[in-house]
Amino acid sequence: MIADLIRQNRSCRRFYQDHAVDPETLKGLVDLARLSASAANLQPLKYILSCTPDKNALIFPCLGWAGYLKDWTGPKQGERPSGYIIILSDTEKANQYVGYDCGIASQSILLGAREIGLAGCMFGSIKRQKLREILNIPTKFKILLVIAIGKPKEEVVIETVGRDNSIRYWRDRQGVHHVPKRNLDDIIVDSI
């Protein structure tokens, strides 16, 4: 069920690095994005795929791993993702709605990953110029997001936002990642 996939689709930041993700799997996930809605059907998104240890090692330091976890710089060796999908915008085809296309495509990729037992994390915190240089990305492409993909190694729990109203995710002493979500009644402004 789609509801189960959405509940399971949490940002995963620790993976079984030795569990390989092959190029065909990444292509299959991008194919889900390709089939997703696109504003005015312009289809301006392009993708760079990575699933080799050498290329992954170049991408990894370009990403900001967890803004709320100030004492954590990212997954240690052995817990890093086995693959990445970099989402680009072709500036010659994009319009002002390209961000919506990117969001829809990203969600399609992540839901597809969960369906096959993988997980991912979207990154907007990217050292874009460094990534552009190391991967030789032409300037006509704007770097929108990077999605890390792999077999999940961490447990992520959804909980209700507490009395302090904090939405900051956190980890407990056992390493369980907690993600506070607002109550449904708190986000519906008006109902029938």
- List, run by run, the mean pLDDT of 10-residue segments along the chain (192 residues): 88 96 98 96 96 98 89 92 98 94 97 97 97 97 98 92 89 88 90 80
Sequence-separated (6 or more) residues with CB below 8 Å from residue 132: 139, 143
Number of residues assigned to the chain: 192
- Residue 46 confidence (pLDDT): 98
- The CA-to-CA distance between both ends of the chain, in Å, stands at 27
* Structural contact between residues 122 and 9, judged by C-beta atoms closer than 8 angstroms: no
Max Cα–Cα distance, the chain, nearest Å: 55
Helix or strand (DSSP H, E) at 50: strand 45-50
DSSP state of 20: -
Q: Which CATH architecture fits 2-153?
A: 3-Layer(aba) Sandwich (3.40)
Strands 156-160 and 170-171: unpaired
DSSP state of 155: -
The ranges assigned to domains in the chain are: 2-153, 155-192
CATH class of 155-192: mainly beta
**Rounded CA separation 4/7 (Å):** 5
User: Structure pTM?
Assistant: 0.93
